[in-house]
Chains A and B, each alone.
Chain A
Amino acid sequence: MVVALLQTWTWIVVGIMMVYAFRHWRFTWNRISARQRPYYQDLLDSELPHVTVIVPMHNEAQVAKKLLEALIDSNYPRELLEVIPVDDQSGDATPALVYEYSQQYSFIRPIYNLQGERGKAHALNRALSLASNEIVLVFDADYTPGRDLIRELAMAFIDPEVGAVMGRVVPRNSAVNLLTRLLSLERSGGYQVDQQARYNLDLFPQYGGTVGGFRRSVVVEMGGFDALTLAEDTDLTVRLFIDGWRVLYANRAECYEEVPENWNARFTQLRRWARGHNRAFFAHIVPLMRSRKLSFVQKVDGALLLFIYTVPPVLLSGIAVNALLFYMGAIPVVPGIIFAFFVVAYNAFGNFAPVFEVGAAELLDGARERLLLLPYLFYLFLFNSWAVTTGAIDAFGDFVKTRKANWDKTKRAGAANAAP
């Protein structure tokens, strides 16, 4: 009986891995061979919308200057632009820096959150209550937007059905060490292929919380960002889809970011993402499946997207079950081998962006020798799996105890102030 149950679980895990591997195979095939769905940035529209850019900041003195300079340098008309840096109880020179810029440029209107609740969702809610414009773009402080980026993202909102838009994130510090190089590969697969294919196929492109934007009125009407969540981006994406809004992905709208340069920072980041994402999974899976505004295929893809941070714990459980079956002398040979192969196909070489997806993305990006790094993605396998599993356990605890999670900010290395 126990053996049968364990073997069944192995088959279930194999099934899950196969579903995800084929889902991403489909995405890769679509991205590299099918006709791509155009974005709106080629629209020549003289009536650009008024835009508010919100930048949540907590101890960002190392990186904030670069971002503010980039926003000042943007070619978006100043009279249509408002920048709200939200200093979220920083203990460093961030408030002074922001104040200095606000004195020089009237369109920079900072908010100082000196006490009370903090965290990205709180910072966004405060900024939303004071924002003057309907179209809101969000950047993290370690990002460096190009001159055209605000226009490229804002253009999408000319379409009244668009609720949110997401641009492409490109690591700026990818040459620092092996970790940053591997993260650069993962980002490439995740945006160049995964997000674009989901946009092409009219599935579930995700608003990523930064290098993107949304309609202020829609978010305010939804009650703002959920302060209990650490993944306000996933939360907003799903809520928008459930309400029938469209979320777009703009592959051409590239923005540069600083990826974590050490293992501790990466572990904390992944754990936080997993915690927030799984929390969104618990909160939204039922409303998503019951939504009447989504097609069946969109519901399936949305469910798979929400479940994605639950896959690593499931995978680790599969390894544990296989070990137990081996101790008992009952390991099933064929599912065992298929399990190993599909672990490799989906998760062992790349975190949610399988190795073939990363390979395709790098080819599209014009990479050559960098492709030789693909086998090194295996180095991250157990690390990613364990980080996500701890986050999933945290999320389960949060859900059961309805407790609020603390925002563990990713530590910056400060590469943003270096030359790009």
Chain B
Amino acid sequence: MSTPATASTIKPPAVKQPSTNRGLREIITPHRSYRRLPVTSTGALTTIPVVLLVELAVILCAQRALDAMSAFASFVAAHENIATRPFADPFLFVTTHPMTFAMRHSDWIELCTVMFVCLVAVVALSIWTKIAAPIRFFVNLNLLLIAGAALYLLLVGRLGYDSAAFSELMVRTALFTWLIMPLFVGLFASLFPFTIWQRLLFIVITVAYDVPLSIVRYGLFVAILGKTSSIAMTDLYLVFGPLLDAIPIICFFSLFLVRVARSLEERRAVWGWL
């Protein structure tokens, strides 16, 4: 049962207090066409010591990583019963251990068959439009590289790279990639409002990810080439070589940008006007 209202129980209506400096206290987020990000030259310049630090770490750890690369490839080759013979190759500030490994020889019948199959597949994929165009184009690029290698082998007799030269190329490519990657990632990082720790983490994580990627890939390439022949060598190197190293950079980049976007959303005051 409700209590009847008396003069003492009735609350006076709330009086709206006039706000002081209301306009100044409100954060007016600018329209997207007028926004700027909270980036300064000083912040961007902090990328330089970070890159140098990671470069130093790469130089210090390169020998171990390259040894691990050779060891893993030897392990995979042994597992696949592929005969290998490592050799020392002093290069820049490290001694790499590329290897000679057994590769099957392709006769002209096999080469012609590969070429024919690849070209038929290219034509079929060009006509058959049920598969999304980008996938068809990507498959076609791989097929054309393989068909080109088969044609070259048919005409010249051998590719420019034997197993030792290819192994050396792979190892040197890995080293150069690790050296170039921090500079490259630093260029990306310098543009955005990352904290110095985010910059460091972004650069370290991309290089750290690339080391096991290079090790595993090298082992796989040795296994694939040891089981097949040099026909696939060009495709492996050009499509799944340095180009593949660059792709994870963009994946990490997008993850870090999402983090920045969240932080900007939480701190709306950081948006700059014109």
Task: Please report the number of residue pairs spanning A and B whose Cβ atoms sit closer than 8 angstroms.
Answer: 168
Answer yes or no: B176 CB below 8 A from chain A CBs.
yes
- Please tell me if the beta carbons of B36 and A337 are within 8 angstroms of each other in the complex: no
Interface centre among B32, B41, B184 (most CB of A within 10 A): B32
Asked if B86 CB lies within 8 Å of chain A CBs, one says no
Q: Mark A326-366, 1 if CB is under 8 A from B, else 0.
A: 11111101101110110111001100000110011011111
Contact indicator B238/A168 (Cβ below 8 Å): no
Indicate if the CB atoms of B250 and A344 lie closer than 8 Å. Answer: yes
Are B254 and A372 in contact, CB atoms less than 8 angstroms apart? Answer: yes
A367 touches B250 (CB 8 A): no
Chain A residue nearest to B40 (CB atoms) is A33
B117, CB-defined interface residue at 8 Å: no
**Which residues of B are found within 8 Å of A263, using beta-carbon distances?**
132-134
The distance in angstroms between the C-alpha atoms of A38 and B36, with both chains bound, is 13
Which of B44, B159, B177, B253: most chain A CB closer than 10 A? B253
Interface contact A326-B253, CB-CB below 8 Å:
no
Binary B-proximity of A18-39 (CB < 8 A = 1, otherwise 0): 0000000100110111111010
Residue of B nearest to A342 (CB): B184
Q: A38-B274, A168-B33, A252-B33 are in contact. Are A323 and B148 (CB under 8 A)?
A: yes
Closest chain-B Cβ to A335's Cβ sits at a distance in Å of 10
8 Å CB interface, B184-200 against A? 184, 187-188, 191-192
Interface footprint category on A: 35 or more
A93 at the binding interface (Cβ < 8 Å): no
How distant is the Cα of A369 from the Cα of B262 in the complex, in angstroms? 9
Picked from B31, B181, B260, the residue with its CB within 8 Å of the CB of A252 is B31
CA A263 to CA B137, docked complex, whole Å: 12
Pairwise interchain contact B237-A326, C-beta atoms closer than 8 A: yes
Known: A25-B191, A192-B32. A355 touches B250 (CB 8 A): yes
Complex alpha-carbon distance, A319 and B138, angstroms = 13
B245 at interface by CB-CB < 8 Å: yes
Given the complex, which residues of A lie within 8 Å of B249, measured CB to CB? 344
With an 8 A cutoff between CB atoms, is A378 at the interface?
A: yes
CA distance A343 to B134 in the complex (A): 17
CB atoms of B242 and A340 under 8 A apart: yes
Interface pick from A95-103, A111-119, A379-387, A398-406: A379-387
A-B contact sample (19 more), CB < 8 A, given A364-B37, A383-B137: A252-B34, A324-B148, A326-B161, A327-B234, A329-B160, A333-B169, A333-B173, A341-B180, A341-B242, A355-B253, A356-B188, A363-B260, A371-B258, A373-B254, A375-B251, A375-B254, A377-B250, A382-B134, A382-B137
Q: Which 10 pairs, one residue from A and one from B, show the smallest C-beta to C-beta distance?
A: A329-B160, A340-B242, A344-B246, A251-B33, A263-B133, A374-B254, A382-B137, A327-B152, A252-B33, A32-B37
